[in-house]
Amino acid sequence: MPLELVHPDWGLIVPQLIIVGTIIAILTADLILPRDKQGAVSWIAMVGLVASLASLLTIDWTAGDTTFNEMFRADSFSLFINIVVLAAGVLAVMISSSYVQSLEERGTMPMPEYLVLVMFSILGAMIVGASGDLLILFIGIEMGSLATYVLTGFARRRMTSLEGALKYFLLGSFSSAILVFGMAWIYGTTGTTSIPEISQQVGTIMSGEQFPEPALLLALLLVAIGLAFKIAAVPFHMWTPDAYQGAPTPVSAYMSVVPKVAGFAALVRVLAEGLGPLSDTWLLLIAILAIITMFYGNVVAISQRDVKRMLAYSSIGHTGYILVGLAAYSNDVPIDMSIGSVLFYLFAYTFMNIGAFAVVTWLQHRGQGVDLDSFNGLGVRSPLTALAMTVFMFSLMGVPPLIGFYAKYYVILAAIEAEMIWLAVAVVLASAVSAFFYLRVVVAMYFNNPEGEWRPQATPLLGLGLLIMAVGTVALGFFSGPVLDLAMNWVDAFEV
């Protein structure tokens, strides 16, 4: 049946249009401003991101309106994804401005190009969150992925950066091929690429079948594998340690959050919404992935002395925790904690993980490396920075009353509600394992003597970003209820 031509509702895509306008403004400034003044473009990026955040207030997200022939959805789920992605973008620009500017002076990382790539990645993640069709979802994923590949290798004079970017690109390309192949099987089985219509077609197929069709199972497997690469779930995580270690530290901070948010948004849209009637089939697969991912990431992180590499494996472990929330999804229960806990965890993870990488960036500005010894005596040299890192480490560990504790608490509660007690116990055990390498950083800061040359440097924007993330990690723990309530509106998004 031919698509009906309707005028798009441009009001629903104002946040995305602002990001596009910001990209154009940055490119224009690159042409106009002299090289020694191009550090000012970071403020253009900041203003654009904040304006996009503010524009979210102009849309009625509860109505679940759609545009572009229902390919683009402005619902409660996309609202929360937009909030997380834009907040991560603001924090990433704050911690990267001085870092990129210092490298720009050496001719290695031009600031305008860097910010344009960040903006394209953010735009891609926002599109994924608002996708009502597999085609739009794939475009959003690839837009974000391509920008992130380039960002990983942006320190082009450093071989580790190029090596990490190459591994990320090659494995990402394979995963994209697998993903699009799975989407093709879904289309071949259901006759549509619209996610709501896929759900209806799969429900119709399943109503008369005792077991799912083999074609549906193959499609499910291919899509799950393709998206597992995007979120760095074990055993599809091979690119993560080298990419995080080789990339410029602010890029590592950014890519640890935004691509992961986009990947989970795609998982929720495709599995929970599109293939929800098949949930009895894919829930066990997701649960097994969660178990393997959380334990592998945390156990391997113990042996790492490079803090960026340690945080890379830590990120893999947190992917496992988030997968627990998805594994608790129930197609039969109209209101449950599952997807709400996933969204809340992504929100919490944004503050505490970007914050941890921000401290590493702060140390690099002062002539320190990225190994564990660089943290020796930080409690003496800079008590406030050490305190901020302690907050981030404790939050990643899951110590109350920090926001990381509530993130883990809600996924555990979701698993218990889904009668998956063994999965809830696994989260607790994996968190206990992670305490070793998180506390090791705290011990180095407060109980070891300072080492190496200390080079004082003023980084006001980075310091402000650290303050916001540290205070947010503490304060949002006390006010987790309203954030969770907003995340729980995903139920309304799926019912529209």
Q: How far apart are CA 28 and CA 49, in angstroms?
A: 17
Q: What is the per-residue pLDDT for 2?
A: 52
Strands (E), 1-157: 65-67, 72-74
Q: How far apart are CA 11 and CA 59, in angstroms?
A: 7
Neighbour tally for 194: CB within 10 Å = 18
The two structure tokens encoding residue 185: 């099987």
- Residue 470 pLDDT greater than 90, yes or no: yes
Residues pairing with 72 in the sheet:
67, 131
156 three-state secondary structure: coil
CA distances from 404 to 308, 309, 311, 392 (A): 19, 20, 15, 9
Across residues 74-90, what is the average pLDDT? Answer: 92
Q: What are phi and psi of 135, to 5 degrees?
A: -65, -45
Q: What share of the chain is helix, strand, coil (3-state, %, to 5)?
A: 75, 0, 20
Residue 458: exposed, middle, or buried by beta-carbon count in 10 A (0-12, 13-18, 19+)? Answer: exposed
pLDDT band at residue 203 under the 50/70/90 scheme: confident
User: Could you state, in order of their start, the residue ranges of all structural domains in the chain?
Assistant: 10-495
Q: What is the per-residue pLDDT for 372?
A: 87
- Per-residue pLDDT reduced to its tens digit, 413-435: 999 988 889 999 999 999 999 99
- Per-residue pLDDT reduced to its tens digit, 204-260: 887 766 566 788 889 999 999 999 998 989 888 888 888 888 888 888 899 889 999
> Which of 101-115, 164-178, 475-489 comes out lowest in average pLDDT?
101-115
- Residue 31 pLDDT greater than 60, yes or no: yes
| Mean pLDDT taken over the chain | 87
Q: What are phi and psi of 163, to 5 degrees?
A: -65, -45
Residue 350 CA, chain-centre distance (Å), reads: 7
Across residues 437-455, what is the average pLDDT? Answer: 86
Q: Which of 197-206, 358-367, 436-445 has the highest mean pLDDT?
A: 436-445
> Which of 3-7, 28-32, 239-243 comes out lowest in average pLDDT?
3-7
Residue 401 CA, chain-centre distance (Å), reads: 23
Q: What is the per-residue pLDDT for 335?
A: 56
Q: How far apart are CA 143 and CA 159, in angstroms?
A: 25
Q: What is the per-residue pLDDT for 208?
A: 67
Q: What is the per-residue pLDDT for 332?
A: 59
> Which of 145-159, 214-228, 264-278 comes out lowest in average pLDDT?
145-159
Residue 141: exposed, middle, or buried by beta-carbon count in 10 A (0-12, 13-18, 19+)? Answer: buried
Report the candidate in 126, 16, 7 with the shortest Cα–Cα distance to residue 69. 7
Q: How far apart are CA 255 and CA 247, in angstroms?
A: 9
- Residue 493 pLDDT greater than 90, yes or no: no
Residues 6+ apart with CB under 8 A from 385: 359, 362, 378, 466
Higher pLDDT, 269 or 214: 269
Residues pairing with 371 in the sheet:
306
Q: What are phi and psi of 36, to 5 degrees?
A: -75, -5
On the CB side of 311, CA atoms within 13 Å amount to: 34
Q: How far apart are CA 179 and CA 177, in angstroms?
A: 5
pLDDT band at residue 496 under the 50/70/90 scheme: very low
Q: What is the per-residue pLDDT for 163?
A: 84
pLDDT band at residue 36 under the 50/70/90 scheme: low
> Which of 104-118, 227-241, 300-314 comes out lowest in average pLDDT?
104-118
**DSSP output for 260-311:** HHHHHHHHIIIIIIISGGGHHHHHHHHHHHHHHHHHHHHHHHTT--BHHHHH
The two structure tokens encoding residue 467: 């303050």
pLDDT band at residue 111 under the 50/70/90 scheme: confident
The alpha-carbon radius of gyration of the chain (Å, integer) is 22
pLDDT band at residue 334 under the 50/70/90 scheme: very low
